Amino acid sequence: IRARLSALPISEIQYLPETYSTNDDAMAWAQAGAPEGVVVIADKQLKGRGRLGRMWVTQPGTSLAFSMIFRPTLEEIEKLSLFSPLGALAVAVALEDLGLSPEIKWPNDVLLSRKKVCGVLAETVWMGSHINGVVLGIGINVATGSVPDSNMLLFPATCVESELGKPVDRLSLLESVLRHLIEWRKQIRTERFIEEWKKRLAFLGEKVTVQKPDGEITGRFQDVDEHGALVLSVEEQYHTIFAGDVKLRPL
């Protein structure tokens, strides 16, 4: 794996045949002072995590699961919520390179044919009372067999190979996503970054329901702001909704 990824400017790659969660591993590394660019990759996750304690299913041999450490600057910390869009954008662009037409489901999922092919989990690394890192975890369903049983899922799922109709080399896809992550990371504070993310958003302009811990609201998905927050219009009123504990579905 290291040899195949050696062309990338990555400080360190740790490959684990099996682990609980690459995000937990990368968090521990980050807490121990690992620099930006360290990547943890696993073939099998025993306890892959989504947001809010939800699970993420990783099937050995067919899924991609990895986490990368970022050390944001002070200015970037002001817009920390853009790291999850960064992951989604990098995966979307890598899938476009294969000839696919992905969409991003706000804030952190990548869809193919309106089915979930990838989930992104951005976690903040705290040092005492201040933030000194972000761990970005990415899970992609690559080959058939990686898609969990539909009764386990809140949203329909698919994998890259069934959408493409031919085999996909997991390592090439991993390399491509990492390359796009590194490239787009440099532009995370630019307008172009938001634009590129926004133009791939599914359901933009459509009626959606947003599920928050304190209840649901339905409205038109009007826009996203410079933090990547969702702007929902409900009867002439605008609501700004931050990611984190929110689920979005079309009406």
Contacting residues for 158 by C-beta, under 8 A, at least 6 apart = 112, 113, 115, 116, 117, 141, 147
Instruction: Please name which of 134, 176, 132 lies closest in space to residue 23, comparing C-alpha atoms.
Output: 134
Minimum CB distance to ligand BT5 smaller for 78 or for 245: 245
- SS3 label, residue 21: coil
What residue number has its CB nearest to ligand BT5? 119
Verify binding: residue 56, ligand BT5, rule CB under 6 A.
yes
Please select the residue that binds ligand BT5; options are 23, 62, 84, 176, rule is CB under 6 A: 23
Using CA atoms, how far apart are residues 57 and 72, in angstroms rounded to an integer?
A: 29
* Residue 157 in contact with ligand BT5, rule: CB under 6 A: yes
DSSP state of 71: -
Please report where in the chains the tokens 């952190």 appear, as a residue: 108
CA nearest 208: which of 224, 228, 232, 184?
A: 232
- Is 19 near ligand BT5 (CB under 6 A)? no
Tell me, residue by residue from 114 to 153, as one string, x for binding to ligand BT5 by CB under 6 A and - for no binding: --x--xxx---------------xxx-x------x----x
- Report if residue 84 touches ligand BT5, rule: CB under 6 A: no
Q: Interface residues with ligand BT5 (CB under 6 A)?
A: 21-23, 45, 48-51, 54-57, 65-67, 108-109, 116, 119-121, 137-139, 141, 148, 153-154, 157
